[in-house]
Amino acid sequence: MKITGAKVIVTCPGRNFVTLKIETDQGISGIGDATINGRELAAATYLAEHVIPALIGRDPRQSEDIWQYLYRGVYWRRGSVTMTCIAAVDMALWDIKAKLAGMPLYQLLGGASRTGVLVYGHANGRDTAEVIDEIARYQAMGYRAIRAQSGVPGLEEVYGVGKGKLFYEPADRGAVAKEALWSTPEYLDHTPVLFDKLREKFGFGVELLHDVHHRLTPIEAARLGKSLEPYRLFWIEDPTPAENQESLRLIRQHTVTPIAIGEVFDSIHDSHQLIKEQLIDYIRSTVLHAGGITHLRRIADLAALYHVRTGCHGATDLSPITMGCALHFDLWVPNFGIQEYMRHSPETDAVFPHAYSFDTGYLHPGETPGHGVEIDETLAARYPYQAAYLPVARLRDGTMWNW
């Protein structure tokens, strides 16, 4: 069996997505996601210029050897663009392999370890009243776990509170990123008050989560975790930037609020200390930015040794292809924790028809052979690329900060 061709499809049904399609001499094709929010064309060019020529003629069933070739063979290993492009190839090859076997991908990984994948949705509001309305809406849809993000008095725009509700999209159209103001004291004062009101309103029967989005220093994060303990959150996410893995030790010494980190990591080396020293409870890496199913499986196996469970990233800037692959992975992985599920817009769902479905708080990847996600190329061609960037943040005195 041989790879006979491959192409990159860039489409913008509301937001930009980069898709790799691999074709074989047996008439079976597979697709993978290569989307990096705000750097989409870097991944598209990397695939077209540096990866596709090396794929032609290879046996698509040798997904491990191709992974190693693209990782070791590049010499300048790792980095988000490289690892995302490797992931796109890996997803497409697992898709082909599972189609060839006539099985849904999860069967090739070891079969289902559970009946469905627990997911969390996003309740976003400009103030507490709006967040309460949103949580009620998600509960009515059947969600059992909900992430709550609120506007902060005194700050005009903050991460997690979008223009839309169900289809939250933080990137803004234009050639240059928008700038937003960030101020930590207001956020630290407001967040415990928010969760106090949420628990008072909804009780403890719903899992609540919160994303700090890298905006605190370790000692500030420790304070937040401590102040949220009475509200028993499922997790706080990205409490501080984790390039310095040791800094998590300080947060751990002060709080028992569970910690989730890893959506921006691109390999096992970014999280091995966090995992081995049990400095986190959930690893957020997913099949897209962390080198595909082949690499994520290694991260999850390491995490299992240290009681760390998975909590894959699942924002709308990850295409339905990533969601499909993540769900096959989640259905199998023994140390599964939870899966993020930020719903895609109807336009995106139409471009990427998929077999996965939602039922009473759980997603299931479906039984279609492969990963169960396709691309409608004719429809995709109607939505050309549009430059869009995530905002950047500055403190009141103009200092650059993490958005």
The residues binding ligand GCO (CB under 6 A) are 37, 170, 211, 213, 237, 263, 313, 315, 317, 340, 390
Catalytic residue among 46, 106, 138, 159: 159
Residue 74's binding partner out of ligand GCO, Mg ion, none, with CB under 5 to 8 Å set by partner kind = none
Bridge partners, residue 29, by sequence: 23
Catalytic residue among 122, 190, 213, 295: 213
Judged by CB, which is closer to ligand GCO: 38, or 192?
38
Least distance CB 56 / ligand GCO (angstroms): 32
Helix (H) or strand (E) run with residue 173 in it: strand 172-173
In degrees, rounded to 5, the angle at the alpha carbon of residue 11 between the alpha carbons of residues 382 and 74 is 150
- C-alpha 237/C-alpha 265 separation (Å) is 13
Of 168, 92, 134, whose CA–CA distance to 321 is shortest? 92
Q: Count the residues of the shown chain that bind Mg ion, applying the rule CB under 5 A.
A: 1
194-197 long-range contacts, CB within 8 A, separation 24+: 194/128, 194/131, 194/148, 194/150, 195/148, 195/228, 195/231, 195/233, 196/230, 196/231, 197/128, 197/132
Judged by CB, which is closer to Mg ion: 24, or 149?
149
Residue 103's binding partner out of Mg ion, ligand GCO, none, with CB under 5 to 8 Å set by partner kind = none
Pick out residues in 153-192 that bind Mg ion (CB under 5 A): none
Judged by CB, which is closer to Mg ion: 105, or 158?
158
Residue 390's binding partner out of Mg ion, ligand GCO, none, with CB under 5 to 8 Å set by partner kind = ligand GCO
Q: Which pairing describes strands 145-150 and 207-211: parallel, antiparallel, or unpaired?
A: parallel
Q: What are phi and psi of 3, to 5 degrees?
A: -80, 125
Contact 57, 38 (CB under 8 A): no
Judged by CB, which is closer to Mg ion: 218, or 239?
239
Residue 315's binding partner out of Mg ion, ligand GCO, none, with CB under 5 to 8 Å set by partner kind = ligand GCO
Least distance CB 315 / ligand GCO (angstroms): 3
Catalytic residue status for 213: yes
40, 211, 220, 266: which one binds Mg ion (CB under 5 A): 211
- Would you please indicate which residues are annotated as catalytic (active-site) residues? 159, 213
